[in-house]
Amino acid sequence: MRIILLGPPGSGKGTQAQRLIHRYGIVQLSTGEMLRAAVAAQTPVGLKAKDIMAGGGLVPDEIVIGIISDRLDQPDAARGFILDGFPRTVPQAEALDELLRKKRLKLDAVIELRVNESALLQRVESRVAEMRSRGEEVRVDDTAEVLVRRLASYRAMTEPLIHYYSERRKLLTVDGMMTIEHVTHEIDRILQAIGAVEPKTDSKAAKKPAAKVASRKSKSAKKPSNGARKAVRGGSRAPKKAIGKKAAKKGAARAAAPARKRAAAGARKAAKKAPKKAGKRRA
């Protein structure tokens, strides 16, 4: 699974990314974290990025694109990844498209966490007030003033990506104002609907329909799909018998793909509508 999490600061991207990496065994690629590590290690990239980051500006594209490209080549990214904090601008999104094309990787979805900005500000304000009343130190970047600046930068630089990915039919919007649990559940639901992940269930009964598809579509089980054939070509170490079974299984799974695609179209529509309604309720 390869996804981008999009949303303004405070929308819960980091929290949801953590939940996704545990659930699906994929990695989180956060340019902010990678840059902070580079600054701490005083690498050439870190030295270039240090002052820009301190001033809250954007690090030049060639630097962030370079670190993302290198990171995508590492073995732990092969199972899938969540991009967090990248791309941040349309030119970065275009560069990412090019990178993925060259690496022959396909993006499954861009998940936008839509939030109510005034509610975000209220949250920060009350958190800061509570911390001060307890005599705790408030982080310099965790104030309403800083949030206002970061939200403005998000609107100007990053929000155009919503249109970019919506045009490419990749955008799925989730109401980020729901509880953390609900947002996670909603993300899971839409990822399943578009076929990016398999439904998580252990019950035998729930597995039955898949078996039915396999027997009804016995053709696909005998004649593996393109994807399965590729897997056979790539899997030179696996014994032939195992490859046959694997390919049959994949073929059967792919037989369900058209239904998934229809579900995906529905999910995209539903996901687009849902947050608006929820937003109205909360406004």
Positions touching ligand AMP (CB under 6 A) are 31-32, 35, 52-53, 56-59, 64, 85-86, 88, 92
Minimum CB–partner distance for residue 210 and ligand AMP (Å): 39
Known catalytic residue at 260: no
Handedness of CA 186, 256, 196, 247 (dihedral sign): positive
Q: CA 265, 270, 274: angle at the middle one, nearest 5?
A: 155
List the structure tokens of 21.
């990496």
Q: Give 24 or 154: the residue with its C-beta nearer to ligand AMP.
A: 154
Known catalytic residue at 71: no
Minimum CB–partner distance for residue 211 and ligand AMP (Å): 44
Q: Alpha carbon of 129 to those of 105, 132, 135, 192, 267: distances in Å?
A: 46, 5, 10, 40, 40
Minimum CB–partner distance for residue 181 and ligand AMP (Å): 24
Minimum CB–partner distance for residue 142 and ligand AMP (Å): 12
d(CA 189, CA 258) in angstroms, rounded, equals 18
Q: Give 32 or 227: the residue with its C-beta nearer to ligand AMP.
A: 32
Choose the catalytic residue: 2, 71, 88, 114.
88
Closest residue to ligand AMP, judged by C-beta, is 32
What lies within 8 Å, CB to CB, of 274 at 6+ separation is: 173, 174, 175, 186
Q: Give 38 or 197: the residue with its C-beta nearer to ligand AMP.
A: 38
Q: Give 65 or 278: the residue with its C-beta nearer to ligand AMP.
A: 65
Known catalytic residue at 155: no
d(CA 146, CA 125) in angstroms, rounded, equals 11
Handedness of CA 164, 170, 175, 177 (dihedral sign): negative
Q: Write out the catalytic residue numbers.
A: 13, 88, 127, 139, 150
